[in-house]
Amino acid sequence: MIYLDGNSLTLEEVIRVACEGEAVELSPEGKEQILASRKIVDGILEEEKPVYGVSTGFGDFSKVFIKKEERSKLQRNLILSHATGVGTPLDQEVVRAAMVLRANSLAKGYSGIRLATVNLLLELLNQKITPVIPCKGSVGASGDLAPLSHMVLVMLGEGEAFVDGKRIPGKEALAAKGLSPVVLSGKEGLALINGTQIMTAVGCIAWKEAVNLMKAADIAAALSLEGLKGTRAAFDRRISLVRPYPGQLATTENILKLTEDSAIIASHKYCHKVQDAYSLRCVPQVHGASKEALAQATRTLNIEINAVTDNPLIMPDTGEAISGGNFHGQPIALVMDYLKLAIAEIGNISERRTNRLLDMHLSNLPAFLTAFPGVDSGLMITQYVAASLVSENKVLVHPASADSIPTSANQEDHVSMGTIAARQVREILDNVVNVLAIEIMAAAQGIDFLKPLLPGKGTVAAHKAVRAILPHLEKDRFLSPEIKAIHDFIVSGQLVEIVEAETGSLKV
């Protein structure tokens, strides 16, 4: 059970709720904070003064004063009118992450929502009622208004949800679990949708995937170093200690661990080759810089998951309702764009290593890693695929946050596009997993040609794991399913798990 107080949620806990279905409950502190905040809003509702989103309309309609008897209708209409998303549904794990993030923000006690309303949101989460949220439609300022509105629709008995593997109407979803729709009171609709929880949720899932990717990339590079008979000289710790970026040091340590006791590397210790190409020699610098970007994203996400991104904020110490701009997604937008570039670079350097493995003039291995060149093409076209993916990533990596389109009659005249950036991270990431899968296939094939010499402690474990899934490529065969098999093996975390069982934890 994870307890929410608005202050202490961790990324690991978000992942446990989103991906493993761990139950969630408000802590005693969280309940007290919500009750205190709501008491202030109840007082505001009794007054006849304009407070944004409580007794006024929204966006450019903030100039319109709303009478007491229409304020509940105002909140319901807000959800109905703002649920305008389009596109395929977000992954259910992303939606679950968004739900726990929104509840945690509300638990901090600055949003003025009722305790019963937050409890219903948590009931949806714990009862595995997952709202259907279209993936597109947020500009990332004023919060993720459209997608979060789709989340709240189900709480109203509207919209759609996934329950027990079926997509059904929201009203049926609630009834199936013995729950009743909520009737929103003043401020509640705005409290539920004015925030950055969708872009942050996508970012949290991308963070989990990126941590695994960074480790898998080091494994792939180590396999290629073995297959290409590269040297460990470039991974001398002293090199990284005089340029002491933590990411570079981590990568150096990983490659040394992975290739420890390598008979392949020992076999050519005194060869004529002075140094390797950049794609091998500069792995600590390139992979390490990407790890630095991931570290920055981690810092930002850790702040955002315990932040209040509502508007207006209800100040518990003074009872004020203050309008501000915490809903603006710029902090997430910028780090997601940074992470896009960092992950794309992992793919760029991986494809170059694959190219070297396949080029007989660079590898001293059979052309395209086939024993029967001409009749067989070997792994020739896998490099074409990797090239197409890294090229596609060069388009996707364009910063979404560089764009802004005014909305709400220019009241909201600068927006972050953070949700677009976050979604693109995962698209780029999946492309790079495929690029790494191709490199790993090629490196494993190259290592086969070096028998009876064996690779190092970690690389031999990786090689065996790959060969347990795919046999050596003796003759040409259908390779697309094999790329997918290694892709899935990486995504599942099993590759990293098997290797770490031999080497100990790899660093990120």
The strand ranges marked E within 67-150 are 86-89, 130-131, 134-136
Q: Catalytic one among 3, 52, 245, 338?
A: 52
Contacts by 45-54, CB closer than 8 A, 24 or more apart: 45/71, 45/185, 45/186, 45/187, 51/312, 51/321, 52/311, 52/312, 52/321, 52/323, 53/187, 53/190, 53/194, 53/311, 53/312, 54/112, 54/186, 54/187, 54/190, 54/312, 54/321
Closest CA to 207 of 121, 122, 291: 291
Residue 309 in contact with residue 195, Cβ under 8 Å?
Answer: yes
Told to judge if 270 belongs to the known catalytic residues of this protein, a careful annotator would answer: no
Task: Quickly list DSSP for 248-302.
Answer: HHHHHHHHHHHTTT-HHHHHTTTSS-----HHHHTHHHHHHHHHHHHHHHHHHHH
* Rounded distance between C-alpha atoms, residue 58 and residue 61, angstroms: 5
Tell me the C-alpha to C-alpha distance, in Å, between residue 144 and each of 73, 84, 193, 241, 413. 21, 11, 7, 43, 16
Residues annotated as part of the active site? 52
